Amino acid sequence: MKLYVNGSGHAAAAEAVNTHHHAQDDPALFYLGRAPHPSNAAVGWVSMLARQLKAVAHNDSEAGSDTSRIINTTRQWLTVNDRWLPETVVMLQWGDQVLDPQHHHEIWQLHQDLQARTVRHVFMNTDHALQVQDHQDWAQCYVAPYDPDHTTSAWLKSHGHTTVSPESPHFGARAHAALASFLLQYGIKYQLWR
């Protein structure tokens, strides 16, 4: 099984064990650019979930990513890796721009495209729920898309987790472990990990 993950700072595990948002923030790792810092990524929910599933994970997440970047890089990856799609689960964690109705439409279109290609996938919101008048039926492919109490941040806070500092929106390794466990169970319930 393969996991393809894309998102912003939360999916990149920014600040999970050190203050770096990107690998390039660490002078010793400048050559890795805006990729997740390896020390943070190692304790992020993506790595933890991949270990639990004995899956290979490709994490295209980048701190500060907007919805357009996530969609575009995901579509590029899907095109290049078409042969691996039957054994891949796509997991996208949206940032704040899901509030924009245009982005809601683009996310819905990506979902429809993945459905048509029978690609297993699940989307989740980081800090804000989708706020549009017309609610779509995402089935199990989107974790509580319109419920502000079930964004990743809200769920973690309701389960006793705090951000790494009052000024940061990011969570530490313990919170990432909790989110990985939640997603493991979510995937079992909805048969994502078959």
Give residue 79's pLDDT: 96
pLDDT band at 131 (very low <50, low <70, confident <90, very high): confident
Per-residue confidence (pLDDT) for residue 133, from 0 to 100? 82
**What would the two tokens of residue 180 be?**
């990985």
Q: Could you give the CA distance from residue 50 to residue 2 in angstroms, rounded to a whole number?
A: 8
What's the domain range around 76? 2-189
17 found inside a domain: yes
| CATH label of the domain that carries residue 130 | 3.40.50.1110
Tell whether 156 is covered by a domain. Answer: yes
CA distance 130 to 150: 11
Q: How confident is the model at residue 101 (pLDDT cuts 50, 70, 90)?
A: confident
- Tens of pLDDT, residue by residue over 55-86, are 999 999 999 899 999 999 999 999 999 999 99
Q: How many helices (H) and strands (E) does the chain have?
A: 6, 4
pLDDT digits (tens, 9 = 90+) for 12-29: 999 999 999 988 899 999
* Domain presence at residue 194: no
Domain tally for the chain? 1
